[in-house]
């Protein structure tokens, strides 16, 4: 039987007002039916979140840390089950899904420990009879709008620090990748999350708009496309926000680089999660003097990528998640070729698979800068190679994108590596590794329309800074200073 998965509102399951027929990109089969919320469900979730937040704010940091550890414990017992659901609804290899859910455990544990060490300051004052302190307070009720490429991990990146600092959150995942996140509801119940502290309302833009514009929502945490992020910022009013709005990650290969390592990193950045990653390798910028050698190494590295059934342990790349992404790949490849780029391998939907969402790993050479594949986030398994004369041109080309999330540079010279770090406008610059590099505790993002962070930075983003000034005299005239 096809499971029917209810909404999670204020600690209970609900049927909603409509249903989404979830069809797997893996096999084209109807694998679940997802309930969709109506206006009453949204109002109930917000009201419950406000009540729960007032309660959670009274908990000590150590009580909230213990809650996060209990959630982490619960996820650990369900890693394989949740990973299986995620692969079925999203399409990424099961090995990658397992890694995602394992990272969710780490996010909750990190948040628990970071919250214990969230400190204020004692600030000097000009008046000897005053004392000034700062405290970190929870912001309130958050709306989280999350994407489909990491259906569980990205919401958890926000949920964990939110709970650890005394906030509550209403999550809005896309209806076609909501099943795995909804499966976490049992974990929240068993861990003792206060009723209403977390609600999960799958749906499209109308649900997200109702949340971010609601006066009962204090702040918005968003990961997704640049276009959607701009719409949210324009409509949400005066609210705190954390916005991570796409990337167009350049991987720069200088003339002293290890070419085999650079080629492997470029291909990995294209096939990991089928390129559906905000920090995927979207552009490979190579110096003309080593162009031929790098292209040859890239084609050799591409031979190792195995497109196939994501539940097969030998598979390294599964299908794309949805038709919109596959159609975008079609457009970008056709546009690049029309502008003079050379298709070296791939460039089409693979035949012989259960759905048309299995896309060949694609390598495009001599890609003009004006091509869509160089200007936009393709979000698919493509390696577009662009050529420049020198390092200065490489940095300038990397910076001409309005999306500056994460970049990579391959060089064997430490001074050149720091030169690139100084001259590339990107939230993160990775030296001699993939643009897809990340750790659960690193700062992430921060340039060209993107801002987000993990670890200590993220914990602070979920708090308001409060200053308290204390007059020791109780409002009376200050005592006469002691004689020296």
Q: Name which of 244, 246, 310 is nearest 89 in CA terms.
A: 310
Give pairs for 153-158: CB < 8 Å, separation 24+: 153/100, 153/101, 153/103, 153/104, 153/107, 154/223, 155/181, 156/104, 156/107, 156/108, 157/107, 157/223, 157/452, 157/454, 157/458, 158/221, 158/242
Q: Which of 68, 104, 278, 279 is catalytic?
A: 278
- SS3 label, residue 427: coil
Tokens of 110: 């990190």
Read off the DSSP letter of residue 406.
Answer: E
Q: Is 235 among the residues known to form the active site?
A: no
Active site residue 278: yes
Q: Provide the edge-to-edge strand list for the sheet that holds 463-471.
A: 122-123, 130-138, 463-471
- The residue assigned the tokens 């729960």 is 52
Which among 362, 79, 244 has a CA at the least distance from the CA of 87? Answer: 79
> Taking Cα atoms as reference points, which of 313, 317, 288 lies closest to residue 301?
317
Count Cβ atoms below 10 Å from residue 414 Cβ, excluding itself: 9
Q: How far apart, in whole angstroms, are the C-alpha atoms of residue 136 and residue 275?
A: 38
Catalytic residue among 244, 282, 376, 451: 244
CA dist 254 and 256 (Å) reads: 6
Output the six-digit token pair for 186: 């049992």
Contact partners, residue 372, CB within 8 Å, separation at least 6: 331, 332, 335, 336, 378
Active site residue ranges: 244, 278
């Amino acid at each position: 039987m096809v499971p029917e998965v209810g909404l999670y509102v204020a600690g209970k399951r609900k049927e909603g007002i409509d249903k989404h027929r979830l069809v797997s990109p893996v096999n084209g089969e109807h694998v679940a039916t997802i309930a969709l919320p109506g206006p009453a469900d949204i109002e109930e979730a917000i009201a419950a979140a406000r009540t729960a937040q007032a309660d959670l704010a009274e908990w000590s940091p150590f009580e909230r840390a213990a809650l996060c550890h209990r959630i982490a414990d619960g996820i650990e017992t369900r890693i394989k089950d949740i990973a299986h659901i995620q692969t079925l609804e999203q399409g990424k290899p099961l090995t990658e899904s397992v890694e995602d859910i394992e990272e969710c455990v780490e996010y909750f544990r990190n948040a628990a420990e970071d919250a214990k060490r969230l400190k204020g300051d004692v600030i000097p004052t000009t008046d000897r009879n005053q004392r000034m302190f700062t405290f970190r307070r929870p912001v309130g009720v958050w709306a989280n709008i999350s994407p489909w490429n990491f259906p569980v991990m990205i919401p958890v990146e926000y949920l964990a620090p939110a709970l650890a600092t005394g906030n509550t959150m209403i999550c809005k995942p896309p209806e076609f990748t909501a099943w795995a996140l909804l499966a976490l509801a049992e974990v929240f119940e068993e861990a003792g999350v206060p009723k209403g502290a977390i609600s999960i309302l799958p749906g499209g833009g109308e649900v997200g708009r109702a949340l971010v514009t609601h006066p009962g929502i204090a702040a918005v945490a968003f990961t997704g496309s640049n276009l959607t992020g701009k719409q949210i910022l324009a409509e949400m009013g005066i609210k705190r926000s954390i916005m991570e709005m796409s990337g167009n990650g350049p991987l720069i290969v200088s003339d002293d680089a290890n070419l085999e390592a650079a080629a492997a990193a470029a291909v990995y950045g294209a096939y990991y999660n089928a390129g559906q990653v905000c920090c995927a390798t979207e552009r490979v910028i190579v110096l003309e003097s080593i162009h031929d050698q790098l292209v040859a190494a890239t084609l050799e590295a591409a031979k190792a990528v195995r497109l196939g059934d994501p539940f097969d342990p030998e598979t390294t790349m599964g299908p794309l998640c949805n038709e919109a992404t596959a159609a975008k790949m079609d457009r970008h490849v056709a546009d690049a070729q029309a502008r003079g780029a050379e298709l070296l391998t791939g460039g089409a939907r693979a035949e012989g698979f259960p759905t048309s969402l299995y896309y060949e790993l694609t390598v495009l050479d001599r890609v003009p800068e004006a091509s869509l594949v160089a200007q936009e986030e393709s979000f698919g398994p493509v390696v577009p190679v662009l050529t420049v004369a020198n390092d200065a041109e490489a940095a300038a080309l990397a910076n001409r994108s309005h999306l500056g999330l994460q970049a990579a540079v391959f060089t064997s010279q430490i001074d050149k590596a720091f030169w690139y770090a100084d001259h590339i406008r990107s939230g993160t610059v990775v030296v001699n590794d993939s643009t897809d590099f990340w750790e659960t505790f690193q700062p992430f993002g921060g340039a060209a329309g993107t801002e987000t962070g993990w670890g200590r930075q993220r914990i602070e983003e979920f708090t308001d800074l409060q200053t308290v000034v204390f007059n020791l005299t109780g409002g009376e005239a200050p005592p006469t200073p002691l004689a020296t």
